[in-house]
Amino acid sequence: MLKFLKPFFISSFVVIGATSVWAEKLGLGRAALPEEIAAWDWDVSPNGKGLPIGAGDAIDGEEIFADQCAFCHGDFAEGMGRWPELAGGIDTLADDDPVKTVGSYWPYMSTVIDYVKRSMPYGNAGSLTNDEVYAIVAYILYSNDLIEDDFVLSNETVFEVNLPNADGFILDNREETEYAAWSGAEPCMSECKDEVEITMRARVIDVTPREKTSEVSQSQNIVTTVPSATLEIKDEEEEAVMLASLDVDLAAAGKKVFKKCKSCHQVGEKAKNRTGPHLNGIVGASAATVEKFKYSRALEKAADGGLIWSEKELAGFLKKPKAYLKGSKMSFAGLKREKDIAAVIEYLKTFEK
- Backbone phi, then psi, for 153, in 5-degree steps? -85, 130
Structural domains of the chain, with CATH: 7-40 (no CATH), 55-160 (1.10.760.10), 236-348 (1.10.760.10)
187: how many CB neighbours lie within 10 A of its CB? 5
Q: Using one digit for the tens of pLDDT, what is the confidence trace for 151-191?
A: 999 999 999 999 999 999 888 888 888 887 777 777 777 88
Helix (H, G, I), strand (E, B) or coil at 286: strand
Q: How many helices and strands (H and E) does the chain possess?
A: 16, 2
What's the pTM? 0.51
How far apart (Å, rounded) are the C-alpha atoms in residues 143 and 339? 23
CA proximity to 117, closest of 102, 107, 130: 130
Q: Using one digit for the tens of pLDDT, what is the confidence trace for 214-226?
A: 343 333 333 333 3
Q: Using one digit for the tens of pLDDT, what is the confidence trace for 69-112?
A: 988 998 888 888 788 999 988 889 988 889 999 999 999 999 99
Q: Is the peptide bond before 121 cis (omega within 30 degrees of 0)?
A: yes
